[in-house]
Amino acid sequence: MRILGIDPGIAIVGFGFIDKEGSKLTPVQYGCIQTEAHTPTEERLLQVYEATLQLIDKYKPDAMALERLFFNRNVTTAFTVGQARGVQILAAVQRGIPVAEYTPLQVKQAVVGYGKAEKKQVQEMVRMFLKLKAIPKPDDVADALAVAVCHAHSSTLNNKIAEVLRND
């Protein structure tokens, strides 16, 4: 199973593709999509959408996982990031790719085993799970890989639950 993890944003979108074979996780490609600050929002959204489609077409994921938004301060930023998430979800759905969403708490719980883990702990666990030499930079990239790892762990559990329910 190939998973595309996304850390949504408008200025920087982190992405990470991982392959899951059994319990083994292998990084495929990771990086970020960046847009220029003084570009109109609609153009930035188009850039994010087109870049997401290009990545999907090139790496052909079986699933996309995104971090669910949590903002308690800047509502304007939340709306813009929400729009960016929307165009990324649209890109996945247009290509027939199922989309899963995880809260920051769920990601931390799946990656570190503790829902209130520090960002550095999550990044270090991502590095270890994927056997990377260094923590990916910027932080958005490491966050995207963490979401992908979370989905890899969650999909195993969800598949087992579905199997049990089918056999009942």
Calpha distance 40→159 (Å, rounded) = 42
Q: Backbone phi, then psi, for 42, in 5-degree steps? A: -65, -35
Q: Which residues pair with 72 in a beta bridge?
A: none
3-state secondary structure of 47: helix
Name residues whose C-beta falls within 8 Å of residue 148's C-beta, 6 or more positions apart in sequence.
Answer: 3, 4, 5, 16, 17, 18, 65
Which sequence positions are flagged as catalytic? 7, 67, 140
